[in-house]
Chain A
Amino acid sequence: MTKLELIKKGLIKDNPTFVLVLGMCPTLGTTTSALNGMGMGLATLVVLTLSNIVISAVARYIPDKVRIPSYIVIISAFVTIIQLLMQAYLPSLYETLGLFIPLIVVNCIVLGRAEAFANKNTVLDSACDGLGIGLGFTLSLTVIGLIREILGAGTFFGWHFLGGDGILVFILAPGAFLVLGLLMALFNKLTGRA
């Protein structure tokens, strides 16, 4: 597989949200607006790419028995770094994403890619895989956030195009499930999986 194919695979064929259905907690919890979804997606993308690179580089030196603890330590180090940087330089985004940033540690996508891909592939391939899956995640979260924002608040990336409020249910928790479900159906229809 070429490097480009590795990246493209994460966007559609192995889309983490609509196909692998991983990382549902941040997907449902942070997509109240397009910018929040994008912020969460990008934070995950950075953690995923960095942890994929490091894990693929050191995987062969780690004994099998302490594989998972080692991966978790590496991933959580990156998550903490991202958290500190966001707190310092993007305080308003950090406030809205709040608890979900530390939760990237237990996002199945990150550990899943470490186990399924990074520990048996080269550093460069793992970086591309992390980038692709991360982009797929970011794109999905941004689209979900955008739809929820347009329907639920009448805004487009924060720009108020509609007077008054939208259909509130879409920015509340049930709306996340509704939009995710409908988008998943649409995705399956378009990719011919259904």
Chain B
Amino acid sequence: MLISLGGIALVCALLLAVVNALTEKKIAKVQADKTAAAIAQVVPAFDGSPVDTVVLVDAQEYLVHKAMAGDSIVGYAIETATAGFGGPINMMVGFSASGEIYSTAVVSHSETPGLGAKITDGESHFRTQFEHKNPADGYNLSVTKDGGDVDAITASTITSRAFTLAVAKAYDVYLSVAGAQPAPEFFEPQDGEGGSDD
């Protein structure tokens, strides 16, 4: 009894170990590709791979991907999440170096198909209305029903609010990152010098 059950468990464990070893790298790559695709979608064209930093805003951690072209920063892709109608909405929000919203991408969500799920449609008016708006120029990041500048998706106010809140949160994160970082034109990295830190 012990031998047969133990034997079966052992064989299964071995088999799983083999499959896991075979697929581990591929799965990690698939996930990394997905993040990379989302970043590429929301910031202007950049060189190499983005620089990742973790930022703490309002006691919450955010992952910020800085996209670089040469030595200057061309954009920030910020991962945020808010509670939507059917569950969490995970998003990637991109800002250009000047603080404009460049574009947005929905990484995962569980909104109602045909209603809130319209947030995944990148061509829709709801998504494009955010593009090239700068909250610093008075663009109010809340839906029109709440006195803001964002047109909500018909019959999906809760989802629209959550989406807009995610963008607003990302903007706060952007401010704290871009504020701490001297603007590119004033910042001259001095390569090869000051190596005493090493």
Contacts and interface: CB of A to CB of B under 8 A. Distances in A.
Whether chains A and B associate is yes
Interface of A: 32, 58, 61-63, 65-66, 69-70, 73-74, 76-77, 80-81, 84-85, 87-89, 91, 95, 152-153, 165-166, 168, 171-172
B23 A88 contact: yes
Given A73-B12, A77-B15, A168-B114, A84 B4 contact: no
Interface stretch (B26-34, B50-58, B183-191): B26-34
A87 B4 contact: no
A130 B69 CA distance: 56
A74 B12 contact: yes
A89 B26 contact: yes
B45 interface: no
Contact of A69 (B5, B15, B16, B114): B5
A66 B19 CA distance: 26
B20 interface: yes
B147 interface: no
Given A63-B1, A66-B1, A168-B114, A84 B19 contact: yes
A94 B77 CA distance: 25
Contact of B20 (A65, A73, A84, A166): A84
B12 A32 contact: no
Interface of B: 1, 4-5, 8-9, 12, 15-16, 19-20, 23, 26-27, 30, 34, 108, 112-115
B156 to A, nearest CB: 12
A174 to B, nearest CB: 12
B8 A73 contact: yes
Nearest to A81: B19
A85 B23 contact: yes
Contacts of A80: 16, 19
Nearest to A58: B8
30 contacts: A58-B8, A63-B4, A65-B1, A66-B1, A66-B5, A70-B4, A70-B5, A73-B5, A73-B8, A73-B9, A74-B8, A76-B12, A77-B12, A77-B15, A77-B16, A80-B16, A81-B16, A81-B19, A84-B27, A88-B26, A88-B27, A88-B30, A89-B26, A152-B114, A168-B112, A168-B113, A168-B115, A171-B114, A172-B112, A172-B113
A71 to B, nearest CB: 9
A62 B8 CA distance: 10
